[in-house]
Amino acid sequence: MVQEMAVFSGNAHPAFAEAVCKHLEMPLGGVEVFNFSNENTFVRFLQNMRERDVFLVQPFVGDVNTRIMELLIMIDAAKRASAGRITAVIPYFAYGRSDKKDQPHISITARLLANFIEVSGADRVLTANLHAGQIQGFFNMPVDELNAMPLIVEHFRSLKLDRPVVVAPDVGAAKDASNMAARLGGDVAFVDKRRDGNDETAHSTTIVGPEVRDRDTILYDDEILSGGTVEAAITLLQQQGARSIYVSCVHPYFRGPAFERLDSADITALVYTDTVPVDAGAFEHVPTHEISLAPLFGDAIHRIHTGGSVSALFR
Ligand code: R5P
């Protein structure tokens, strides 16, 4: 029988795991995770694992491939230490954009990753806002996908904007933007974005939807990486006379030119969650607001442990 729960963190985002444990009013479990000089990863749990309900927190961020390997080895070590049940807690699931064969001779890496996690010995996965919901089906095990949108909506509601226009910076984000607009009592628009091959520069030429002139606008995307997608959308909104431009995302995976692009874009505020560690001090001009998902993950972990409903958390 699975006994008490234990939460551990890899090296990707220990502050997030600490915040989850704080919410659960329990200490973070002891584990050593480090690389030898030959870059081979070593994992050793520092407590009895037998029959424990184990939660391993590791978003795939930073040195992504190393963090993935760390998690796989943690799962294997927990399994071999006779853990009763192992949940891989992955607040940000990398390779989400590699979910289909949309070019010749490429891999479906999200599926490969799901296989690795399963083969390592995980029993369940807990994650948030996958790039495509269908990725859940890549796993032959239960996947609980949390939704940060209600918390982001709650923040914008508190700003009391007047019928904002929620703008999807590409067609892929349109469904989420529409959902957000409905929750906020606003309108929805989307940007026609095109990319040249695998280039990270986005070309956006048109906003499809209502007039944005003199309106409050909220750009919403699941993730921001180089910032190219939102930068192109911001330029269009500015050209079309939007009164304010808020930029929001779940996963702030800011890399490369992202900080400079966002900081110099003359936006009203940048809103994101803490699934990825962000150095907010790197922004000199744009006001930032971070929404913590740690309580949501903490509640989900508690419900998984006690057999409660997880979906009830994000209706
Ligand atoms: C793409 O489909 C995603 O939803 C994001 O729009 C994309 O990942 C953002 O990337 P970047 O910030 O590099 O344009």
Going by C-alpha positions, the residue among 172, 112, 101, 119 that lies closest to residue 138 is 112
Domain co-membership, 125 together with 171: no
Query: Residue 53: enclosing H or E segment and its boundaries?
Result: strand 53-57
* The pLDDT of residue 2: 66
Indicate whether residue 259 lines ligand 1 (CB < 6 A): no
Q: Ligand 1 pocket check: which of 224, 248, 272, 275 to mutate, most ligand atoms within 8 Å of Cβ?
A: 224
**Ligand 1 centroid – CA 223 distance (Å):** 6
Residue 258's domain spans which residues? 149-291
Domain co-membership, 218 together with 196: yes
Angstrom distance (rounded) from CA 33 to CA 287: 35
Domain co-membership, 116 together with 157: no
* The pLDDT of residue 200: 65
Structure tokens at 119: 């083969």
* The pLDDT of residue 106: 96
Domain co-membership, 198 together with 268: yes
Indicate whether residue 170 lines ligand 1 (CB < 6 A): yes
DSSP secondary structure letter of residue 105: T
User: Which ligand 1 atom lies nearest to the CA of residue 258?
Assistant: 12
Q: Ligand 1 pocket check: which of 131, 194, 229, 278 to mutate, most ligand atoms within 8 Å of Cβ?
A: 229
CA distances from 229 to 66, 83, 134, 203, 218 (A): 27, 43, 23, 8, 14
CA 92, 252, 137: angle at the middle one, nearest 5?
A: 30
- Here the CATH number for the domain that contains residue 180 is 3.40.50.2020
Domain co-membership, 198 together with 281: yes
Q: Ligand 1 pocket check: which of 193, 203, 221 to mutate, most ligand atoms within 8 Å of Cβ?
A: 221
Domain co-membership, 159 together with 275: yes
* The pLDDT of residue 203: 72
**Ligand 1 centroid – CA 207 distance (Å):** 17
Domain co-membership, 280 together with 181: yes
216-270 residue pLDDT tens: 999 999 999 999 999 999 999 999 999 999 999 999 999 999 999 999 999 999 9
Indicate whether residue 223 lines ligand 1 (CB < 6 A): yes
Domain co-membership, 305 together with 194: no
Query: Residue 301: enclosing H or E segment and its boundaries?
Result: helix 294-306
User: Low-confidence residues of the chain, pLDDT below 50?
Assistant: none
CB count, 10 Å around CB of 137?
A: 11
Domain co-membership, 23 together with 131: yes
Indicate whether residue 262 lines ligand 1 (CB < 6 A): no
What's the domain count of the chain? Answer: 2
Domain co-membership, 120 together with 208: no
12-31 residue pLDDT tens: 999 999 999 999 999 999 99
Indicate whether residue 61 lines ligand 1 (CB < 6 A): no
Considering 79, 101, 160, 193, which one is annotated as catalytic?
193
Domain co-membership, 115 together with 212: no
Active site residue 22: no
* The pLDDT of residue 196: 67
* The pLDDT of residue 58: 98
